[in-house]
Amino acid sequence: MFIRNTLVFGLFSLLFSANLFAVPKPIPDPPSLKADSFYLVDFESGQVLAEKDPDKRVEPASITKLMTAFLVDKAIDDGDITADDLVTISEKAWRMKGSKMFVEVGKQVSVGELLKGLIIQSGNDASVALAEHIAGSESAFVGYMNHQAQVLGMNNTNYQNATGWPAAEHYSTARDIATLTAAMIRDYPESYRYYREREFTYNDIRQFNRNRLLWRDESIDGVKTGHTEAAGYCLVASAKQGDMRLISVVLGASSDKARTSSSQSLLNYGFRFYETLRLYGTNEVLRTARLWYGEQEQVAVGVDSDIYVTIPRGRYKDLDASIDIVNPISAPISQGQKMGQINIKLDEELIVSEAIVATHAVAEGSLISRALDYIKLMFK
């Protein structure tokens, strides 16, 4: 059984607005891009704004290094290694082809320096050196990569190396790459700042970040390029304007210029036609509910994490939120215990549905108060 409480956003502005019957402006279709697949998603709400074959398995090329960097950060966070650890460069790492940081065999380089070389210069040598330092060998590190992919819900991803070097069963998808990118931005913001660096010099060799968007748009602060003959030209990008952050993934473009312009078009589309709003904050009290058999008669309910929505610009007043609360609620109640559901709709379409929980614990009341509540419930 549920008690229903409806919260209407902007009710009075709707009643007295001269545009009461105005029809909302339609959102144009996303840009048409020449790429194997693409994906545009809001970081906070997870709302998908544009997509094409987002679950198509493709070769991710050097975008693979996002997972390598993620696991380096995780190892540091877990206390397994430190940024100051010195890594002895193996012959395998030194001999890696493709993009390089130009480390020298037998030399010792800090984890921090190697991480910068991996992120900014896309160094294959740095990737292998870090993988060997964490797991003992690159092949063992790949096991960590695939395990972490499953933990993050990247169900269409399989790694066979730490660099993105072409391999038969090495693949990912636009959706999975966006999932990894969001986790990286959320969990390791200190390392994420390296993705916006335009250049890095190591061993007196100055190299530039291949993400051309960093020179085009100040709101763009990452993320990673990739290219092989089989993968084509790939780019995962992220930008923040105000409180809104978007992540775009473009895979299999025909050229560096095409992946850059396609990514810019996706981000421009998202920021131009949509807005992201924080509706409720963690532990914010939404209402109180009648509590039976407790040491108090009311329990406050709210949400256990921030609730964001991404909607067409100018449509905030059209949002409708309703709360369904389980009835009756009986003590004892623990903090965080589910009390019901909050549903948010736009034009009768459900866009968010989240649990509401008790914001604090409530113990059982006295024997007398519980007996009185029992009698009240019988007559109720």
- Residues annotated as catalytic (active site), given as ranges: 62, 65, 122
Contact 147, 156 (CB under 8 A): no
d(CA 169, CA 185): 27
Judge whether 180 and 154 are in contact, CB under 8 Å: yes
What's the token pair of residue 198?
A: 């335009």
Pair 99, 123: CB distance under 8 Å: yes
Distance, CA of 257 to CA of 279 (rounded, Å): 38
C-alpha to C-alpha distance for 60 and 149, rounded to whole angstroms: 14
Q: How far apart are CA 295 and CA 365, in angstroms?
A: 4
**How far apart are the C-alpha atoms of 93 and 56, rounded to whole Å?**
31
**Spatial CB neighbours of 3, under 8 Å, sequence gap ≥ 6:** 289, 324, 325, 327
* Phi, psi of 27, rounded to the nearest 5 degrees: -85, 125
Backbone angles phi, psi at 300, to 5 degrees: -80, 140
> If we measure between CA atoms, which residue out of 260, 276, 176 comes closest to residue 210?
260
Here the tokens at position 26 are 């339609």
Give φ, ψ of 345 to 5 degrees: -125, 155
CA distance 270 to 266: 6
CA 80 from centroid of its chain's CA atoms: 25
With CA atoms as reference, report the closest residue to 71 among 151, 168, 2. 151
Q: Is residue 356 within 8 Å of residue 325, measured between CB atoms?
A: yes
Q: Are 312 and 274 in contact (CB under 8 A)?
A: yes
Q: Collect all residues with Cβ–Cβ distance below 8 Å to 305 and sequence separation of at least 6.
A: 282, 354
